[in-house]
Amino acid sequence: MRRAYKFRLRPSARRHIALTACVESHRELYNSALQERRDGWMHSKTKIRYTDQAAQPTEIRSVRADVAVWSYSSQQATLRRLNKAFDGFFRRVKAGGKVGYPRFKGSGRFDTVEWPKDGDGARWHPDSTRVYLQGVGQVKVSAHREVRGRIKTIQVRHEGRRWILVLSCDEVPTNPLPGTGHQAGVDVGIASFATTSDGAHIDNPRWGRAASDRLTAAQRGLHARSPARRIGAGVGRRWPHGI
């Protein structure tokens, strides 16, 4: 069974800068490959495929040190990502549906880098709960559960202000619960949170009502500490009414 494990990365300031540069370099590669495909078709009706672009990172890396620092395998994975977008485009064209030509990726629309194999540019270290990424280094991981199975791919994703690690694993052992031989139905409602088929009722916890007093007190405290209220109170003290 395949399963994905999602953990939060805890990079240092230097590692954060390196991760940002890594994503930006792969975004540049994606957009450049897309531009080449568009130009080839517009100027000479030449259809450029993944096989035509897969070896190009070798030449690029030989003249650009800022590109050579990253994993070659991850760069090929980015090119496959573009190829998958074109496969979907041509499939929609053939089906006669909404087409949607692949777009260039702005800085807010490209947030993931993938390493297609554990040990090829990226390595998961479960004993130290860290992940090694070529060009970035060792990054601490908040691993809240054990990773089981054989790691197939490693992904790093930028979500808002957070960095996320996704480990996709094959051959994850299953652990099904033993059968009880009984069946049960559950009806979810409002007066009773849940009612089972054997007549048992689970009361609605009504968390909103339970926390209403604390919410009212917090809102009053926030209002008392607001800058506008403090300024108004100061003005009232310094200049008496009527002056």
| pLDDT per residue as tens digits for the range 170-206 | 999 988 888 888 888 989 887 788 898 888 888 888 8
Same domain, yes or no, for 195 and 135? no
Instruction: Provide the residue range defining the domain that includes 31.
Output: 3-170
Average pLDDT score over residue span 23-44 = 96
Q: How confident is the model at residue 99 (pLDDT cuts 50, 70, 90)?
A: confident
Q: Is 204 part of any domain?
A: yes
Over residues 202-231, the pLDDT tens digits come to: 888 888 888 888 889 888 888 887 766 555
Contact 73, 121 (CB under 8 A): yes
The dihedral region occupied by 193, where left means phi > 0, alpha psi between -120 and 50, and beta the remainder, is alpha
Same domain, yes or no, for 17 and 87? yes
- pTM across the whole model: 0.74
> How many structural domains comprise the chain?
2
H helix or E strand, kind and range, residue 4: strand 3-10
Same domain, yes or no, for 91 and 202? no
Instruction: Indicate whether 155 pLDDT > 80.
Output: yes
Position 232 scores a pLDDT of 57
Count the neighbouring beta carbons within 10 Å of the beta carbon of residue 193.
13
Residue 139 makes CB contacts below 8 A (sequence gap 6+) with 9, 10, 11, 15, 19, 130, 131, 132, 133, 163, 165
Same domain, yes or no, for 15 and 94? yes
Position 123 scores a pLDDT of 97
Q: Is 104 part of any domain?
A: yes
CA 197, 202, 204, 207: dihedral to nearest 10 degrees? Answer: -140
Same domain, yes or no, for 38 and 102? yes
> Phi and psi (nearest 5°) for 38?
-65, -45
Same domain, yes or no, for 159 and 193? no
**E strands along 99-216, which residues?**
112-115, 122-125, 130-133, 137-142, 150-159, 162-170, 186-188, 192-196, 201-203
Same domain, yes or no, for 166 and 188? no
Q: Is 234 part of any domain?
A: no
Q: Is 240 part of any domain?
A: no
Contact 153, 114 (CB under 8 A): yes
Q: Is 195 part of any domain?
A: yes
Burial of 221 (C-beta count, 10 Å sphere; 0-12/13-18/19+): exposed
Same domain, yes or no, for 215 and 166? no
Q: Is 14 part of any domain?
A: yes
Same domain, yes or no, for 124 and 158? yes
Position 243 scores a pLDDT of 43
Count the neighbouring beta carbons within 10 Å of the beta carbon of residue 10.
15
**HSE (side-chain half, CA atoms, 13 Å) at 156:** 32
